[in-house]
Amino acid sequence: MSLVLVLAAAAPSSLTLKYFDAQGAAETTRVLLAIGGIAYTDHRYSIGPGFEAPEFKADKESGALALNLGRAPLLLTNEGAIGQSKAMERYVASQAGLMGATPFEAARIDMVAEHVRDVRDAQARKGFSRMARGKTDEEKAALASEWYGTDLPSWLARLEACVVDLAGEGAAHTVGGSVSYADVCIWSLLREGSAEDLALVAEAAAGCATLRCVADSVEALPTVAQWVQARPVTAF
């Protein structure tokens, strides 16, 4: 299944993003493409019963996904393919002018993005997602309670201190005074997820006014609002 997203007037689509029919590891790239007004083909592998994805399996077996070690997502450009979701995000952010005005700003933007990845990795290691195995529902519930009640507030407080040090208290943007890849990462951390997750994250971020200002600034972008409203509804 492929959707051609023409977000820039008259520009032909020279990019193809291949991923499952889900948000997952490709969604930040899709949002960055939307902000940049970059046309692309949103190629989605259909997911059937038992999470079977025949087209993905065929691409994997054929070697079409070799640059991402047989995994998705994969970004196809007119210069070649790019694997690894974070490399894709940085490439698109650069194309969209979201990596700052100097190498130093780019490094600081990347720094904040990596801090956000640290938070996400810590959550994954906690092991309470519905895909996690080897734990009972009660054990997962206890771990989730600990994550949202103790761990996440601690992570967000440190991230808040970092952003305040970079841009000042209550700043709308982390680096350079305009929207950047770092801002989109913070928005995704605070504003993407199920309604239940978002309520828990909002509670954990209650004391982080600057992070919330940054997320608000991204959420207010017409291109982001348009994409969030129009994107396909998926299970995850």
For the question of whether the overall pTM of this predicted structure is more than 0.85, the answer is yes
pLDDT 10s digits, 76-85: 999 999 999 9
- Pair 110, 206 in one domain: yes
Residues 185 and 143: beta-carbon distance below 8 Å: no
- Pick from 202, 184, 185, 216: which is nearest to 148 by CA? 202
* 236 is a domain residue: no
The CATH number covering residue 24 comes to 3.40.30.10
pLDDT 10s digits, 158-167: 999 999 999 9
The CATH number covering residue 206 comes to 1.20.1050.10
Mean pLDDT of 194-216: 97
Supply the pLDDT for residue 141.
93
- Pair 88, 122 in one domain: no
Residue-range definition of the domain harbouring residue 73: 2-96
* 226 is a domain residue: no
Q: How far apart are the first and last CA of the chain?
A: 17
* 44 is a domain residue: yes
What is the share, in percent, of the chain residues with pLDDT greater than 90?
86
- Pair 71, 110 in one domain: no
Mean pLDDT of the chain: 93
Least confident of 3-7, 26-30, 101-105, 203-207: 3-7
Supply the pLDDT for residue 2.
55
Supply the pLDDT for residue 195.
92
- Pair 135, 66 in one domain: no
- Pair 127, 212 in one domain: yes
Q: How far apart are CA 231 and CA 10, in angstroms?
A: 21
Supply the pLDDT for residue 92.
98
- Pick from 22, 35, 216: which is nearest to 131 by CA? 22
- Pair 126, 84 in one domain: no
pLDDT 10s digits, 107-147: 999 999 999 999 999 999 999 887 777 788 899 999 999 99
Q: What is the dihedral of CA 85, 87, 88, 91, to 10 degrees?
A: 160
Residue type, 195: A
pLDDT at position 73 over 70: yes
- Pair 45, 130 in one domain: no
DSSP string for residues in 167-200: H-TT-S-SSTTS--HHHHHHHHHHH-S-HHHHHH
- Pair 197, 149 in one domain: yes
Q: How many domains does the chain have?
A: 2
- Pair 79, 111 in one domain: no
